Amino acid sequence: MGTFTKGPVTIDYDDHRSDDTTPPLVLVHGHPFDRSMWAPQVEHVGRTGRQVIVSDLRGYGRSTVVPGKTPLQVFAQDIADLLDRLGVAEIVLGGLSMGGQIVMEFHRLFPDRLRGLILADTTPQAETEESRRAREAMADRLLREGMDGYAEEVLPKMVAPANIRRYPAVAEHVLGMMRGTSPDGAAAAQLGRAERPDYVASLARVRVPTLIVVGSEDEYTPIADARLMHEVVPGSTLVVIEGTAHLPNLERPAVFNEALSRFLDSIPGER
């Protein structure tokens, strides 16, 4: 565990170091979660000897809460600055939902630092006028009401209802992350995402191995969005994880980890 400070912001992170020569894996959490959402993947990949880095985005977890508006490029720059601090040049970068959009923004800004991409339960399209207004309204709601009501409301979309019943510890973990998120940080990210660009054109320029994963029951980022990315990204691999919603890495971690391992094994080691 460590902290990285840039100006008034401190980023809290875990760097699971290794002497392995394969490119490190960096995983970016979604909204409104924290880096603990990647615990099954950190444990699994760590056993293979690969370096794994996870951090709490600004506004989330133990990192500094910054009210206002946080564009995706700010999150991406934070990751680049953390990698510079750690002396890491090239990475395999993965993210889920908002984390996937941050990954796409990182690719747009820093394509030469990437050896592979993982895009899980995310969408590349820009917001529509209607969805932009919805994000702005949600930001206002979170600032007024806090996270509790929102967390209870969206839990059955984050975790498939059958999995809430089948895996109550997973549901409690997800609910705890959402309730523990700062309304100010969550609202700032929502406002930033409302202004995100369309990433379809930049995804067509991806030149590294790419894994696209989606839950079969995901309402937020449905299979059609994953198929669009699969069609756009040259040579990408698409994996649909059955019986899961927006968080297949937590709902069916063994299946997610198997797909992740196959993908990582396909990426060449040291250049």
By the 8 A CB rule, do 135 and 193 touch? yes
| pLDDT tens sequence across 143-194 | 999 999 999 999 999 999 999 999 999 999 999 999 999 999 999 999 999 9
Q: Starting at the edge strand that comes first in sequence, how are the strands of the sheet with 9-16 ordered?
A: 2-6, 9-16, 52-55, 25-28, 91-96, 114-120, 210-215, 237-241
pLDDT at 270: 59
pLDDT at 122: 98
Question: Which among 120, 59, 71 is positioned nearest to 93, based on CA atoms?
Answer: 120
CB atoms within 10 A of CB 235: 10
Arithmetic mean of pLDDT, 212-237: 98
By the 8 A CB rule, do 222 and 122 touch? no
| pLDDT tens sequence across 82-99 | 999 999 999 999 999 999
Whole-angstrom Cα Rg for the chain: 17
Question: Which among 57, 70, 66, 61 is positioned nearest to 28, based on CA atoms?
Answer: 57
